Amino acid sequence: MARNERLIPASPERVFAVLADPDSYGHWVVGSDTIRGADDTWPAVGSRFHHRVGRFPLALNDHTEVIAMEPGRRLELHAKARPLGTAHVALDLERRGDATLVTMTEDAGDRITRLVFNPLTHFLVKRRNDESLRRLAELATP
């Protein structure tokens, strides 16, 4: 499992507002190219946004679905980029004074993907997520 933390100088409500905007994922999630649309109920449990991962000619269309959500506190996602695999991503927000500690954990989202998740994969995902959280902070910081 890849686990990353970042202290963002914004309130949990402000950080969650970015997470609640499906169009923001095209900017802050490394590897996500285009957000193709989203359910009107995003980020309600069971809602999805549709994305493109990668770049032409290796771009893949798929979706990410909300598994659990507590406004201002937690967002749990099942991200798909088939045939490359799926991921379980949790974003936990904890108020720290005027800032928010964001903890992002990512692991394989299905049995087949678990077969290819190894220490090297986790290392690469952790590096990618460091950059993703930096970009999230950029969007959330007033």
Q: Where are the alpha helices (DSSP H) in the chain?
A: 12-19, 25-28, 111-116, 119-140
| pLDDT of residue 31 exceeding 80 | no
Q: State how far the Cα of 20 lies from the Cα of 34, in Å rounded to an integer.
A: 16
| pLDDT of residue 138 exceeding 80 | yes
Taking only the tens place, the pLDDT of each residue in 42-55 is: 999 999 998 877 66
Q: How many structural domains are present in the chain? A: 1
How many CB atoms are located within 10 Å of the residue 138 CB? Answer: 12
The domain of 97 spans 2-140
Distance (Å) of CA 10 to CA 30, 57, 73, 138, 139: 21, 38, 13, 10, 10
The pTM assigned to this predicted structure is 0.90
Q: State how far the Cα of 142 lies from the Cα of 139, in Å rounded to an integer.
A: 8
CATH number of the domain within which 65 lies:
3.30.530.20
Q: State the Cα angle at 91 between 89 and 92, rounded to 5°.
A: 140
Q: What is the pLDDT of residue 109?
A: 77
The arithmetic mean of pLDDT across residues 76-81, rounded, is 87
Judge contact between 141 and 114, C-beta under 8 A.
Answer: no
Going by pLDDT thresholds of 50, 70 and 90, the confidence category of residue 56 is low
Spell out a b/e string for 41-61, using b for 16 or more CB atoms within 10 Å of the CB, else e: ebbeeebbbbbbbeeeeeeee
Q: What is the pLDDT of residue 83?
A: 59
